[in-house]
Structure 1
Amino acid sequence: MSADASTIAVRSADQKIRLWKINNSKPKPRVFDVSKDFRALALSLDGKLIALAFKNTIQRWHREAHEKAPDAFEFAKRWRPGRAMAFHPTRKMLALSYANGNIGFRALDQPEMTPILQGHKTNYNVLTFSPDGMAVAAASIDGKILYWDFRRNSKEPIVFGKELGNQNQASALAFSPDGQILASGHIDHTVRLWHLKVSDPASCFDVLEGHTGSVRSVAFSPDGKAIASASQDRTIRLWPVNVYDKAPRTNNLEGHEGGVLAIAFREEGKALISVGDDRTVRRWDLDTSKFYPKFLGTHQHLISAMAFHPDGQAIDVASDDQQIWSWVLNPSESADQPELLSKKTWQREDQEWPMVFSPGLRTIVSWAPYQRIRLWRPSYHQDFQVLGGYPGQPVALAVSPDGQTVASANADHMIQVWDLDAPHVARHSIKHHEPVTVMALSPGGQLVALTAGYDPEAEKPNPRIWLWYIHKSKVEPNPLKDYDKEVLALAFSPNGETLASAGFDRRIRLWDIRKPEVSPRVIKEQGVEVSALAFSPDGETLAAASVDRTIRLHLAKTSRLADLACQRVVRNMTQVEWDRFVGADFRYERTCEALPEHERVE
C-alpha cells in the first residue's frame, strides 16, 4: 500500500498483480501479468507509480496511463535482483536489493544501476527510505537490520538485531516522520523500536509485545506519537511511542477474518486503512474517544487504591511511592502526566500499610502499625484520628463511596463497620469463617463484599466472594463462586446494583447484586493482573489499574455499546441481517432510532 493509503497493489496466487485506487467509488483494478521471473514490486508514496522487478528488467508503470507502455530498464547480467524494492521519497530514484546482499540505486532517467551499498551476503525481506531520503534501512532473512545514513562518512551500515537470528527476522520496517526512530515488525510477534540518533543506535529501546502472530506491516502516525502494527493474528494494534516508557499499552482493532497484510494512516492520522487476507480493505476511525478499553497512562509505581473525582473528570490513585496522584481524563497536550496532590493530603508512617479512600478524597483510611486504623477527612478539615475499639491487626479495609462508612477485617476474621459521625465505637461486628483479603462497601454502607477462602497451598484452592448484609448479620452471606484464582480487587457501582471484581485470572467480572446466582458479565482478559478498580460517578465507566502500572478505562454498561455502534453506521439492519444476528423469532425494530429503517425490510 502506498504511504498515503490511496493505492493498493496485491500479488495473488494466479500470478497477477492488481492495482486499486482506494477512493474510487467503483474500484476496478488494473491487472499486470507477473507469471514469469517476477522478483519485487514497489509503490511511490502518492501511489501514482508502480515498479515491477523481473529477472532482467524493471518496469515502471503510471497508474492513470492505461494505454501507455511501461518504462523499462534492463539489468546488467552480473546483477541478480532480490525481493525488496522502494521508491525514493523526493527524487526520481529506485532502490533495489540484490541477491548478494548489496543495495543498488537507479535514477529513473538514467540507464545504469550501480550497487553502491554493500551489506552482507544474504537476501532482504524489505527495505525502506527515511522520510527525507537521506537514509535506507533493510531487513535481511538472517534476522539483522542494516541501516545506512548517507550523511555519515562511512559506507558501512549500522547493524541492528545481531542477536535475533532468522527465527526472529523482521518482515516490516517504518521510519518515524522525523527520522529519529526505526520500527521493525517481526515474525516472533513483536514490534521493536530503534533510536537512530543516540550514541548506540544498534540498541533496541523498546519491544512491543501483544500480537499472537507474525507482524506483517508497521506504520507511524503523521505526528509520530503512535505506531500501528498489523499481524497475521487478524488484529491491528495502536501503540503510543514513548522512549522512556516501556510498559505494555495498546488499543486493538479487530474485524478482519484473515491476517492483516498492510496498513497506512490517512486523513492526518484520523483514520487507518488496512488490507487483509480476507480480501477486504477496511477503514478504521481513529477517534480515540471511541476506543474501549481506553489507555489512560502508565504510573510510576504500583497502584494500590483508586477512586474517581465526583465530577468524573479525574482519577485519584494511591501507589507505593507513598503519595496520592491525580490523573486528568481529558488532558491537554501540556498536561498528559498525573498531578501530584499536596503532600499534606497523605503521608504514611514507616511500615504503614496501603490505604483506601472515597471519591474526592472525602475520607482517607489507612492501616497503621500497632493494631490501629487511622482516618483523615480533609474535606472536613479533620486531622488524622484513630478508630476506637479495634481488636487485632487489620488485614483489609473498605470505605463507602459517600465517605461516611468504613469497614475493616482483622486476622481473626472479625469484620467491623464504623459510622464516621461516631468513629469511636463500631456500629456492627460480624464474625466471618475464613480469612478475609479484599473488601468493598456499597453506597450507604449496608452491604459488604469480601474475598475469602483462597489457600494457594491447598490441593484445590477455592476462592470466593461473599456478600454480607450488615442489618442481617445473623444470616449466612451469599457466595459468588466463579473463580479459581485469587481475587485482588472489588468495587461497587454508584447505584450499588453492580459489583466489579478482578484478580490473578486477568479478567474483570461484573455481578448483578440483585441476581447473585446469575453468571457475571466478563470483560475481556486484561493481559496482566488487576490491582485496583473504581467506577465513574455515572457508573458507565470502570477504571482498572494493573500490576504493569497502567490504568485502562472500560465500558461498564452494555447500553453504551449500542450507542457507540449507532455512531459508526449509516443505516439500520436489513431483515436478513436481523434474522441472522438477532433472531427470526424476534419482531424487527430499528436498532438505531436516529437512522432510517432499511428499505429492504419486509
Structure 2
Amino acid sequence: MRSLLTTTLLILSIYSNAQKNPTTTELVMSMSQRSLVMPGYLPDLKALIARQAYEFWKEGNVEPYVSHLNVYQALYEANKYLGYDSVRNMAYNQVGMHSNTVTSVVFGSDPNFYYSSSTDGKVLKWDLTSPRSIPETIYESDKIVQSIEMSNDGKVLMAILYQEGLALISTEKNPHEDIKVLEDPQPVQTATFIPGERKYLTVAKSGELILKGFNTKSEQVGKTALKINQLKVDEQDGTIYAGTEEGVLEAWEKPYQVKESPIEDIMENWRQQSYFGYKLGSFSINCLDISPSGDILAIGRDRGDIVLWDIPKKQLIRIISGHQSTVTDIQFNPKGDLLLTTSRDGTARIWDLTDSRKLPIILDDHDEWVFTGSFNPSGTQVITGGGDEYIRTWPVDPSYLAFRICAMINRNLTQEEWDEFVGRDIPYSMTCSD
C-alpha cells in the first residue's frame, strides 16, 4: 500500500537477511506482506494467510512497534475482498455516499446512529447496525453544509452553513416546545455548542464571539481580529479555545470579557484579562479536541502534524508528525489513549498516545481527501468521510477483522499452502479452529 512503502522496504530488507528459522516477528511481518500482495481473485487464501499472521501475533513474543500495523493492514485488505459487492462496486466497509464531499460525521445520544453532512446541502442520519440501509434525510438546503455539531444531550444538531448562518435541527421525533430557534441567519465563521447549557457560541464574520441561547438574550463574550477555523469549549471550566488560520491558538477564560486580539501584539501582550493567545507557528490550525480527562488539547495543523497542548500548564507537550498534508479533523477516543486524525493526504490515522514509538494504524481506502472522522461512543469503530463522497467504517480492534475472516470462509489452509506460506519447519495448525 502506498502509505506503507517505506516500512515495506525496511521489512523486505529484514527478510532477505533472515535465517532459516525466522523469529516470530519476522514470520508475522512476512506473512502479513504475503497476504497484502496476494491478488484479490484469491480471496480465501489472502484472508487465511492474514488470519494466521494474526494468530502468531496474538501469541506474543512479537516486536510491538511495527508488527501491529502490518497485521491490521493485512486483515483489513483481506476483508475487503470477502463479501465485495461487485454490482455496486462497494467494499464491505463502504456504508454509502452523499452526492458530494462529506464534510462532517457526528454521533448523537443513541450509539447506533450517526449523522453526516455534505457540500450537497444535506444532513443524513445513518443506522450503524444496518450499514447498507437507506439513510434518513433530516435536513436539506441549497447551501453548503460546512460542518455539523451535536449538543451534549444529543437532542439538537447544529448545521453550520458555509458563508451563511446556521440551522438548529431536533434529532427527536417530538422536539421540545421550548426550542424555538431553528435557524440563525447571521453569517458565521464557525460555531459550537456550550457543554451542559442550552446555549451555543458563534464567531461573526467581523470577529465577535457571541453567546446565544434558545430562550436568552445574545451576549458578546470576546472579539478577535483573526480568522477562526474551529471552536472548542472546555467542559470543566468553560474556557473557549479557537484555532486560527494564522496559526495562533486563542482562548477566552471565564469570566468572559470582550477583548480585541490583533495579530501584531499577540506575543507582546499574550495574556490580558481573560484572554490569551499563543502563536504555534505560521501554519493554519484547522481542528481541535479536548481529551476526556480535560488536560490535553489536540491541535491539527496545515503542516500535517498534531500539536498536543498541556491545558493546565498552558504549554506544548509534543508534536506528532506523520501526515503528508493538512490535518482536517481530530478526535480523542472515549478513554483518551487513542487519537484519530484525518487528512488531505487521503488517510485517516489512529495514534496510540500511550507509546510514542508505536506506529499509527493507517486507514487509506478513500480515493480523495479525508475531511472528517469520528469514534463511535464505545470507541470500537471509526467512521470517516471525504472527497470521494463515501462514508466508511473501520473497526479499531483487529480481532474483529480476524473473526470476520473465519466467519466467512469455510475452510483452513491446506498442508501444501501451509508449507508454502508459513513454513515446513513450523507445525501445522488450523487457522480457523472454531
TM-score range, shorter chain: 0.5 to 0.7
Deviates more, 1:487-496 or 1:398-407: 398-407
SS at match of 1:538: coil
Q: Does the 8 A contact of 1:392 with 1:411 survive in 2?
A: no
2:376 pairs with 536, 553, 565, which one? 536
1:432 pairs with 253, 256, 280, which one? 280
CA change 1:334–1:554 in 2 (3 A) is closer
| Aligned residue number for residue 229 of structure 2 | 396
| Aligned residue number for residue 478 of structure 1 | 318
Q: How does 1:44-443 map to 2 (within 5 A)?
A: 235=40, 284=83, 292-299=92-99, 302-320=101-119, 325-330=124-129, 336-340=135-139, 343-345=167-169, 347-349=183-185, 351-355=187-191, 365-374=201-210, 385=218, 388-399=221-232, 406-411=240-245, 413-417=247-251, 430-441=278-289, 442-443=291-292
SS at match of 1:389: strand
| Aligned residue number for residue 344 of structure 2 | 504
Deviates more, 1:515-524 or 1:569-578: 569-578
Q: How many angstroms does 1:481 deviate by?
A: 1.6
Q: Does the 8 A contact of 2:367 with 2:388 survive in 1?
A: no
Q: How many angstroms does 1:553 deviate by?
A: 1.8
- Partners in 2 of 1:297 and 1:349 — Cα distance? 28
SS at match of 1:311: coil
Q: Does the 8 A contact of 1:389 with 1:426 survive in 2?
A: no
CA change 1:469–1:294 in 2 (3 A) is same
Q: Identify, as 1 or 2, the structure richer in strand.
A: 1
- Partners in 1 of 2:248 and 2:123 — Cα distance? 29
Q: How many angstroms does 1:512 deviate by?
A: 0.9
CA change 1:579–1:522 in 2 (3 A) is farther
Q: How many angstroms does 1:437 deviate by?
A: 2.6
Q: Does the 8 A contact of 1:506 with 1:526 survive in 2?
A: yes
Q: How many angstroms does 1:546 deviate by?
A: 0.9
Q: Does the 8 A contact of 1:402 with 1:443 survive in 2?
A: no
Deviations 1:62-90, CA, capped at 9 Å, x for gaps: xxxxxxxxxxxxxxxxxxxxxxxxxxxxx
CA change 1:524–1:472 in 2 (3 A) is same
Task: Indicate yes or no: 2:408 matched with 1:568.
Answer: yes
- Partners in 2 of 1:316 and 1:358 — Cα distance? 20
- Partners in 2 of 1:479 and 1:587 — Cα distance? 45
Task: Indicate yes or no: 2:274 matched with 1:445.
Answer: no
- Partners in 2 of 1:332 and 1:283 — Cα distance? 16
Q: Identify, as 1 or 2, the structure richer in helix.
A: 2
Q: How many angstroms does 1:543 deviate by?
A: 1.3
Q: How many angstroms does 1:323 deviate by?
A: 7.0
Q: Does the 8 A contact of 1:308 with 1:359 survive in 2?
A: no
Gaps of 5+ in 2: 1-37, 47-80, 140-156, 159-166, 170-181, 258-272
Matched to 1:451, the amino acid is G
CA change 1:388–1:509 in 2 (3 A) is same
Q: Does the 8 A contact of 1:391 with 1:410 survive in 2?
A: no
- Partners in 1 of 2:44 and 2:326 — Cα distance? 33
- Partners in 1 of 2:132 and 2:276 — Cα distance? 49
Gaps of 5+ in 1: 1-232, 237-252, 258-281, 455-462, 597-602
Sequence identity percentage? 21
- Indicate the RMSD between aligned Cα atoms, in angstroms: 4.8
Matched to 1:516, the amino acid is S
Q: Does the 8 A contact of 1:512 with 1:518 survive in 2?
A: yes
- Partners in 2 of 1:298 and 1:590 — Cα distance? 43
- Partners in 2 of 1:568 and 1:401 — Cα distance? 45
Q: How many angstroms does 1:542 deviate by?
A: 1.2
Q: Does the 8 A contact of 2:242 with 2:249 survive in 1?
A: yes
| Aligned residue number for residue 310 of structure 2 | 469
TM-score, normalization by structure 2? 0.55
Matched to 2:299, the amino acid is L
Q: Does the 8 A contact of 2:116 with 2:125 survive in 1?
A: yes
- Partners in 2 of 1:405 and 1:590 — Cα distance? 56
CA change 1:355–1:294 in 2 (3 A) is farther
SS at match of 1:496: coil
CA change 1:585–1:291 in 2 (3 A) is farther
- Partners in 2 of 1:479 and 1:298 — Cα distance? 34
CA change 1:532–1:575 in 2 (3 A) is same
Q: How many angstroms does 1:312 deviate by?
A: 1.8
CA change 1:523–1:322 in 2 (3 A) is closer
- Partners in 1 of 2:374 and 2:344 — Cα distance? 17
Q: Does the 8 A contact of 1:306 with 1:315 survive in 2?
A: yes
Q: How many angstroms does 1:570 deviate by?
A: 5.1
Matched to 1:436, the amino acid is S
Deviations 1:264-293, CA, capped at 9 Å, x for gaps: xxxxxxxxxxxxxxxxxx99587x9x9642
SS at match of 2:400: helix
CA change 1:285–1:372 in 2 (3 A) is same
- Partners in 1 of 2:376 and 2:345 — Cα distance? 24
Q: How many angstroms does 1:504 deviate by?
A: 1.9
- Partners in 2 of 1:334 and 1:557 — Cα distance? 24
Q: Does the 8 A contact of 1:418 with 1:427 survive in 2?
A: yes
Q: Does the 8 A contact of 2:125 with 2:135 survive in 1?
A: no
Q: How many angstroms does 1:468 deviate by?
A: 1.1
| Aligned residue number for residue 553 of structure 1 | 393
Matched to 1:443, the amino acid is P
- Partners in 2 of 1:304 and 1:291 — Cα distance? 21
CA change 1:492–1:337 in 2 (3 A) is same
Q: Does the 8 A contact of 1:234 with 1:255 survive in 2?
A: no
Q: Does the 8 A contact of 1:400 with 1:443 survive in 2?
A: no
Deviations 1:215-268, CA, capped at 9 Å, x for gaps: xxxxxxxxxxxxxxxxxx9558xxxxxxxxxxxxxxxx95688xxxxxxxxxxx
CA change 1:334–1:499 in 2 (3 A) is closer
Q: How many angstroms does 1:528 deviate by?
A: 1.0
- Partners in 1 of 2:415 and 2:251 — Cα distance? 56
Larger Rg: 1
Matched to 1:388, the amino acid is V
- Partners in 1 of 2:393 and 2:109 — Cα distance? 16
- Partners in 2 of 1:374 and 1:587 — Cα distance? 69
SS at match of 2:225: coil
Matched to 1:367, the amino acid is V
Matched to 1:466, the amino acid is V
CA change 1:363–1:330 in 2 (3 A) is farther
Q: Which structure would you say has the larger RCO, counting Cα contacts within 8 Å and 6 or more residues apart?
A: 2
Deviations 1:352-386, CA, capped at 9 Å, x for gaps: 23445699998755432221334567xxx565855
CA change 1:367–1:418 in 2 (3 A) is same
